[in-house]
Amino acid sequence: MKGMKLRYLIFISALTLASNVMANDLATATKWHFGLDYAASVKYHEPGMSETGSLAGIFFDWDIAPARTLTVLGNFTVLYGGLTYDGATQSGIPLKSSSTDHIFMGELAVGLHVGAKNNGTLYAGIGERYWTDIISDAIAVTGAQVSGYRREITYMYAPVGARVRGELGGHWHLEIDTKYMALLRGEVVTHLENADPGFNTLENKQRHGRGYAVGLRFTHGLENNPTFTQFFVEPYYQAWIVPRSDNATLYYYGVPIGYGYEPDNATRIVGLRLGLIF
């Protein structure tokens, strides 16, 4: 957990440094977008288990050279909240609980503006998503107390996408952003020792997977505002589909008793962003 936080701190610092260096070299204005992110429908599903609910947070993204052909694009999002857990115990007894979740997601990409007015952008880069899922203690239908545990899900991926911008009239503009996210490396760390100190921490590697995302950003100009030039509303959709992970040996007080793995799973998020451009 501490290592993951440190990695994100380094990641954010690198993004900031790259932005400053690029902006100074090009001597051009950077377009910053900042606002609130409401993931109204979050659905995680795997055979026999699902987590659903909503998360909220903040985001910011930027285009370092909006008036030039080559640019650096970036974004960072933090979401936090609680989900409803619907699953079963290891013996198959139905179990309902809740979870506390937070998601960090950041990307850095190189983009190529195309079109007479730079109204299109093709981009590719690198990204990472880190999801902490803390499942609470619960009471099974039999009345037995079931201890919760914590999972840490990390995806490192390569986003490849395109953006198209156009005028709608009445000072409104629309930007459509679509992208494909190829999973380069994934890992799920399951802290089973939270439920029973005899178990070890499982670390399952995920080697395959893919994601998709689309956003519709409706932008309106702000007049006579020296700081913010526009505000926007952006409904969006994200999806991840990840096959079964590698196996990891399961120990009980140091004695191997089997193995564990992450089954096929899918995550789908429908949300809305509200923000300002400066």
pLDDT of residue 15: 54
What is the Cα–Cα distance from 188 to 186, expressed in whole angstroms?
A: 7
Q: Is the dihedral of CA 79, 84, 86, 90 positive or negative?
A: positive
pLDDT of residue 27: 42
Average pLDDT per consecutive 10 residues, the chain (278 residues; last block may be shorter): 52 54 53 95 95 97 88 96 88 86 97 86 97 89 81 97 91 95 97 94 96 97 77 97 97 95 97 94
- Of 130, 183, 176, 180, residue with least CA distance to 159: 180
Q: Report the chain's terminal Cα–Cα distance, integer Å.
A: 34
pLDDT of residue 25: 47
- The three-state DSSP-derived secondary structure of 208-228 is CCEEEEEEEEEEEECCCCCCC
Record the pTM. Answer: 0.87
Return the pLDDT at 74: 95
The shares of helix, strand and coil residues in the chain, as percent rounded to the nearest 5, are 10, 70, 20
CATH of the domain at 180: 2.40.128.100
What's the domain count of the chain?
1
Closest CA to 205 of 269, 159, 154: 154
What is the phi/psi pair of residue 45, to 5°?
-140, 140
> Which pLDDT score is estimated for 211?
98
Residue-range definition of the domain harbouring residue 85:
2-277
